[in-house]
Structure 1
Amino acid sequence: MEAKVALVTGGSSGIGEIAAKQLKEAGFTVYAAARRVERMEALSHSGIRTLELDVTDQESARDVVATILDEQGRIDVLVNNAGYGSYGALEEVPLSEAQSQLDVNVLGLARMTQLVLPHMRRQGTGTIINISSMGGRFSTPLGSWYHASKYAVEGLSDAMRLELRQFGIDVVLIEPGGIRSEWGTIAAKHLRQTSGDGPYSKLAAGMASTLDASSKPGYRLASEPEVVARTIVKAASADKPRTRYAVGIGSAPMIALSKILPNRLFDRLISQATRI
């Protein structure tokens, strides 16, 4: 049977890089795409095709999809993994930065999906895997625009699932908890730059410390990115994947608690968990 073709965005590091490797090991023909092509050299040597991609640029996105279709004639799996975390108090985050957060995490995901859907519809099959977060189901302080983007990914995915099932296309949400990667360090840097001084500095110090800790070896509240990558492979390989996979330390129980606890009690729990 011909290998299925998978495209992974944000493939230069973390979850995307490892997911590309594991999909290749599972027998998929894999394309990893990211802005930082030079960081995907090891993937290229392992037989994974690497492409330059800026998900916020229509031409860049169109070129990537066209290249894969020219070379393979099909795309069976799209893993929308590209994204970052913009942290800072809502009062202090410039709206230009808010726009950037939504451009990457929401509109970039939508752009890639729009480009592959006509081909998946013609195939009568396909799987869209959107990397959300437990932060798409509840919020933490100083992450308003990040959470807004992930809440949007959740809503988009739910609507897409209803629209696309008639064409044999599955839409899957993966909701990681804390994951040990450079994501936390980058988010902490954003936070300190935006709200490290001024009225929110105490909140920012506690939250930045938590974000930084999540990227360090031995931090007990963060899982390795391989946990998410294995789930991506599981969803991509399944005939009938689940609509949601809550994965990694804390994700499933925290999502459950957010549903059953009164809001103010859950707020206190979040404040304690983030050292605020």
Structure 2
Amino acid sequence: MVRSKVAVVTGASGGFGSLTVVNLAKQGYVVLAAMRNVSKVSVFEPFQDEKWYKQIIPVPLDVTKEDSIREFQYYIEKVGRCDVLVNNAGFALGGFSEEVQMSEYREQFETNVFGVMGVTQKVLPLMREQGFGKVINVSSISGLFGFPGLSPYVSSKYALEGYSESLRLEVKPFGIDVALVEPGSYRTNIWTSGRVVTEQSLKKDSPYFAYMERIEEELKNGEGSLGDPQEVADLISELADKKTIKNLRYPVGKGVKGMVKAKSILPWSALEKIILKKLKQT
């Protein structure tokens, strides 16, 4: 059994995941950096001269495959300890609801929801026996606010929010904390290589094509104001080191708290007008 603090980070090969791995290793954790392709551990090579570099252990994990999750459990049992689980693996599927294939919705949920559930189930028995542990689920502003053209991603994050609420209440009596980190827009690959748009919504004969073009235009216009992902990694690392995580939700990013507050105050009709006007749909 490893005596050092142990953290598991899924989706560790880039974005919030790789930055969180580095933070936690610096903080003294042995970090199981879980990723589908372990060759991507090369992302950490710039740090190989650092004394904490050897605390990063690459672990193969495809959260959509039950066999892979079972093999991941072997690593957890071998280490014999888990202080922190960061469920970060995910991708964004866009497109208009009428045109998204049901198989695409299922693929979105396999990664963003069922993958989280499967990995968490393998870690909870150990945390419960320890009498302590933290599960930090990386959600999104999209888990609090629905956006047009993103219903697969939005609905998966809303599902993650509900799951995390129930989970926190279930495991709190065993000394386990659950938290949701809810980032706004940041410079990660979730909106580039990590984003997929259903094919039909990109075709010119789609009734939603002009609408999709306007959404794409808004995304491009906002690229210059995207936040530094290190801010999110720092928040995750801060929560990991807290004795107790007092709150469930931690929104982070430019304008995020304002959006959440606006949704709690304004009637839906007012929010609807604002969004559709911005996208030139009224």
| TM-score interval, normalised by the smaller of the two chains | over 0.9
Corresponding pairs, count: 270
The TM-score with structure 2 as length reference comes to 0.90
Q: Give 1:184's aligned amino acid.
A: W
Structure 1 residue 68, shift from structure 2 partner: 3.1
Q: C-alpha displacement at 1:274, in angstroms? A: 5.4
| Alpha-carbon shift at residue 99 of structure 1 (Å) | 0.3
Write the distance in 2 (CA, Å) between the matches of 1:23 and 1:213.
34
1: CA distance between counterparts of 2:279 and 2:183?
17
Identical positions, percent: 38
Give distance in 2, aligned partners of 1:205 and 1:116.
Answer: 42
Q: Does 1:79 align with 2:83?
A: no
Secondary structure in structure 2 of the residue aligned to 1:86 = strand
C-alpha contact 1:85 1:186 (8 A) present in aligned 2: no
Q: TM-score normalized by structure 1?
A: 0.92
Partner in structure 1 of residue 202 of structure 2: 196
| C-alpha separation in 2, matches of 1:80 and 1:122 | 20
Distance, in Å, in 1 between the alignment partners of 2:137 and 2:279 is: 26
Question: Superposed, which structure 2 residues align to 1:20-31 within 5 Å?
Answer: 20-31=21-32
**Aligned-pair CA distance for 1:248:** 1.1
Equivalent-residue separation in structure 2 for 1:175 and 1:20 (angstroms): 18
Q: Map Cα deviations across residues 81-106 of structure 1 (whole Å, 9 max, x no partner).
A: 00011000001011000000011000
Q: What does residue 268 of structure 1 align with?
A: 273
Whose radius of gyration is greater, 1 or 2?
Answer: 2
User: Which residue of structure 2 lines up, in the alignment, with residue 40 of structure 1?
Assistant: 41
SS of 1:32's equivalent? strand
In 2, Cα distance between equivalents of 1:194 and 1:169: 44
Alpha-carbon distance in structure 2 between the residues aligned to 1:226 and 1:275: 33
CA distance in 2, matches of 1:271, 1:192: 22
Q: How far did 1:210 drift? A: 3.1
For residue 181 of structure 1, the aligned residue among 177, 182, 188 is 188
Is it true that 1:236 corresponds to 2:240 in the alignment?
yes
Q: Is 2:8–2:34's contact at 8 Å kept on the other side of the alignment?
A: yes
Q: 1:92 to 1:37 in 2, by over 3 A?
A: same
* TM-superposition CA deviations, 1:158-207 (whole Å, max 9, x none): 0001100110000000000111111112466x237341221011111122
Q: Following the alignment from structure 2 to structure 1, what is the Cα–Cα distance between the partners of residues 72 and 212?
A: 38
Kept in 2, the 8 Å contact 1:132–1:175? The answer is yes
SS in 1 for 2:145: coil
Take 2:194 and 2:33, find their aligned partners in 1: how far apart are those partners?
Answer: 23
